[in-house]
Amino acid sequence: MSRNEQSAEPHTNADGEIVVVGASAAGLYTAATLARGGRKVRVLESKPDFEPASRTLIVTNHFRNQLGASAKASILNEIRRFELFTDGRSAQIALSKPDLIIERARLIPALAREAQHAGANLSFDARFLKLSPNCRGLHLQVDSAGRSEELHAASVVGADGASSRVARAAGWPPIETVPLMQAIIRLPRDCPPDTTRVWFVPDDTPYFYWMIPESSERAALGVIGEDGRDMARCMARFLEKKQMEPLEWQGARIPVYRRWVPVKRRVGNGEVYLVGDAAAQVKVTTVGGIVTGFRGALGVAQSILQNGRSRELRALRRELDTHWLIRRTMHHFQQKDYSQLVDLLNFSTRDTLSEITRDESTRLLWNVLRRQPRLALLGLRGLLLGKTPRPAREG
């Protein structure tokens, strides 16, 4: 099998069928965009039917511009304020454009309806197994409800998540992932339903804990872990300290974006693309992957429809690189750095944070640094600290 790295050649199979593997956020968005562009699209989903696992997600207001009316029905709540806590200190940031709380179990069926309405064909209980080149493009082997099925496609889009089988089959290296867990809890009485809380506890995680209210009664309390850390133990201790009872659990592994993953490879005469978690299109600061996965999906669809051209992919790359810079800066922060960070969030900085969303990170970063230059020094220190190993944690 001859496989080449990302190629600038225009595609030659403009009339052939495109197979999208994975009927979740990124795959369905790609399928709908391609079908609207006049391409014949088939989506393969390994799950037997449409009962996506429940997941409470927070996204920026950008989501509203990306989706049609039916997907907006997945919005459960709006967030107008962030409260940041660390070591007895706190800071508040009001959002001029509210963040949105969405329910994945509602979003995915809505995206599927939009894809089908645009003309895409969806197959459930259809697990992609292998691909190889053939004279018409690509030959795919699929397990369809226990029977082996052979398919032919001009292009394949891998939207099959962080451990993408399409990526492995086409020769992309595996991507690093981290575990993420969320407990659904009763919303504490002292927390307004339009407020997200974030706690920086560097002894537990280099990321943070968060609590996002999905209604006036319920919230999702989450944490991101790292290899070697006992995330479940930290979460249990945190819940106990805050006197919160888990009602249900949500969790999975999330890709860590360290560098841009080229989204296209040629395999023989065919083309293979990756979108969403399969291409690590996740903001590594917050591990939010919905808005960026849609942007990756749009970029790949544009690139297929417009013979390789997509400004969206270039812009997404810049965005994800900036999040990686911020994460590298903060990853080795110690308690005193977080305390200083929260103290430095003065009025002018907070204004910037409230006006510019996390999906415009470069503009956000420069505006924050312009208004509070001492944050640049703190960031530089964080970057330098990153070069020395963290001391081992007790217990």
Ligand X SMILES: Cc1cc2nc3c(=O)[nH]c(=O)nc-3n(C[C@H](O)[C@H](O)[C@H](O)COP(=O)(O)OP(=O)(O)OC[C@H]3O[C@@H](n4cnc5c(N)ncnc54)[C@H](O)[C@@H]3O)c2cc1C
DSSP 197: E
Q: How many CA atoms lie within 13 A of 315 on its CB side?
A: 17
In the complex with ligand X, which residue's Cβ is closer, 322 or 349? 322
φ, ψ (nearest 5 deg) of residue 83: -120, 125
In the complex with ligand X, which residue's Cβ is closer, 3 or 55? 55
Q: Is 323 left (phi over 0), alpha (psi -120 to 50) or beta?
A: alpha
In the complex with ligand X, which residue's Cβ is closer, 27 or 379? 27
In the complex with ligand X, which residue's Cβ is closer, 184 or 330? 184
Instruction: Select from 20, 32, 57, 261 the one that contacts ligand X (CB under 6 A).
Output: 57
In the complex with ligand X, which residue's Cβ is closer, 128 or 379? 128
If DSSP codes are grouped into helix, strand and coil, which group holds residue 260? Answer: coil
In the complex with ligand X, which residue's Cβ is closer, 213 or 251? 251
- Minimum CB separation of residue 238 from ligand X in Å reads 16
Q: At which residue do the structure tokens 């020395």 appear? A: 388
Tokens of 301: 């669809």
Q: Does 251 bind ligand X (CB under 6 A)?
A: yes
Please list, in sequence order, all residues whose beta carbon lies within 8 angstroms of the beta carbon of residue 366, skipping any fewer than 6 positions away.
none
Nearest to 328 by CA among 221, 236, 206, 218: 206
Instruction: Select from 27, 109, 206, 268 the one that contacts ligand X (CB under 6 A).
Output: 27
- Minimum CB separation of residue 101 from ligand X in Å reads 8
Instruction: Select from 282, 300, 301, 375 the one that contacts ligand X (CB under 6 A).
Output: 282
Contacts to ligand X from residues 317-356, by CB under 6 A: none
CB atoms within 10 A of CB 192: 12
Instruction: Select from 11, 39, 42, 127 the one that contacts ligand X (CB under 6 A).
Output: 127
Specify the amino acid at residue 110. Answer: A
- Minimum CB separation of residue 257 from ligand X in Å reads 11
Q: Which stretch binds ligand X (CB under 6 A): 3-11, 30-38, 51-59, 357-365?
A: 51-59
Instruction: Select from 19, 20, 35, 58 the one that contacts ligand X (CB under 6 A).
Output: 58
- Minimum CB separation of residue 231 from ligand X in Å reads 12
Asked if residues 276 and 26 have their Cβ atoms less than 8 Å apart, the reply is: yes
Contacts to ligand X from residues 230-249, by CB under 6 A: none
User: What's the rounded Cα separation, in Å, for the pair 385 and 388?
Assistant: 6
Q: Which stretch binds ligand X (CB under 6 A): 1-9, 15-23, 90-98, 319-327?
A: 15-23
Where do the DSSP E strands lie in the chain? 3-4, 18-21, 41-44, 56-59, 75-86, 89-103, 121-123, 126-134, 137-144, 147-153, 155-158, 177-186, 195-199, 209-213, 218-224, 248-255, 264-267, 270-274
User: What's the rounded Cα separation, in Å, for the pair 25 and 123?
Assistant: 16
User: What's the rounded Cα separation, in Å, for the pair 270 and 44?
Assistant: 18
In the complex with ligand X, which residue's Cβ is closer, 53 or 380? 53
- Minimum CB separation of residue 25 from ligand X in Å reads 4
Contacts to ligand X from residues 165-224, by CB under 6 A: 165, 180, 182
- Minimum CB separation of residue 250 from ligand X in Å reads 4
Instruction: Select from 11, 16, 24, 195 the one that contacts ligand X (CB under 6 A).
Output: 24
The site string for ligand X over 136-165 (x = CB under 6 A, - otherwise) reads -----------------------xxx---x
Asked if residues 140 and 153 have their Cβ atoms less than 8 Å apart, the reply is: yes
- Minimum CB separation of residue 294 from ligand X in Å reads 9
In the complex with ligand X, which residue's Cβ is closer, 182 or 302? 182
Tokens of 353: 């944070």
Which spans of this chain sit near ligand X (rule: CB under 6 A)? 21-27, 44-47, 55, 57-59, 127-128, 159-161, 165, 180, 182, 250-252, 254, 276-277, 282, 288-290, 293
